[in-house]
């Protein structure tokens, strides 16, 4: 069973308005798997830059270049590998931090074997989020 975190807009208090008017739709929730990510491990700073994590991507690139230039070869390879391993473990956490900065708070955790079932269980557990789905 895998764990998925659900991020979305915080619940807003009901706004008084004309009766019968539809409520405006919010942004749909984001479901992220909570596990090691192979893509940041393999592609390192390029994955971070592709996900618009500019500071993390540039920092990883700068540290990798500094290790390659300043550390002797056998140790540099091991350190770059360790750097990419850390990127694989931290990649999704950095995505969660970015979502938090954008105003999407963590709404809950869902356990499911795959992402489609995680969405299904999310709708079962939190039907109030259904109105935000596209």
d(CA 19, CA 100): 33
In this predicted structure, the answer to whether residue 133 has a pLDDT above a threshold of 60 is no
**Helix (H, G, I), strand (E, B), or coil: what is residue 44?**
coil
Going by the DSSP 8-state scheme, the letter that residue 128 receives in this structure is G
- What are the start-end ranges of the E strands in 9-98? 30-33
Residue 75: its pLDDT value, please? 92
Q: Record the tokens describing residue 95, joined without a space.
A: 């995505």
Q: How many domains does the chain have?
A: 1
Q: What angle do CA 30, 27, 44 make, to 5 degrees?
A: 40
Confidence band for 126, pLDDT divided at 50, 70 and 90: confident
- Give 89-119 as a 3 state SS string: HHHHHHHHHHHHHCCCEEEEEEEECCHHHHH
**Does pTM top 0.85 for this prediction?**
no
Span of 7-21, 61-75, 105-119 with lowest mean pLDDT: 7-21
Burial (CB count within 10 angstroms: exposed 0-12, middle 13-18, buried 19+), residue 55: exposed
Residue 25 belongs to domain spanning:
2-132
Q: Could you identify the residue written with the tokens 């895998």? A: 2
What confidence tens digit (pLDDT) does each residue in 85-98 have? 999 999 999 999 99
Q: Record the tokens describing residue 92, joined without a space.
A: 């999704």
């Amino acid at each position: 069973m895998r764990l998925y975190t659900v991020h979305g807009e915080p619940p807003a208090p009901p706004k008084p308005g004309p009766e019968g008017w539809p409520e405006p739709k919010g942004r749909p929730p984001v479901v992220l798997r909570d596990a090691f990510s192979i893509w940041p491990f393999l592609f390192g700073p390029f994955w971070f830059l592709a996900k618009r994590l500019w500071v993390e991507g540039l920092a990883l690139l700068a540290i990798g270049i500094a290790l390659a230039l300043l550390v002797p070869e056998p140790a540099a390879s091991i350190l770059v590998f360790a750097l990419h391993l850390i990127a694989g473990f931290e990649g999704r956490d950095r995505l969660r931090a970015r979502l938090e900065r954008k105003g999407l708070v963590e709404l809950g955790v869902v356990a499911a074997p795959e992402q489609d079932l995680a969405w299904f269980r999310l709708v079962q557990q939190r039907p109030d989020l259904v109105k935000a789905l596209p």
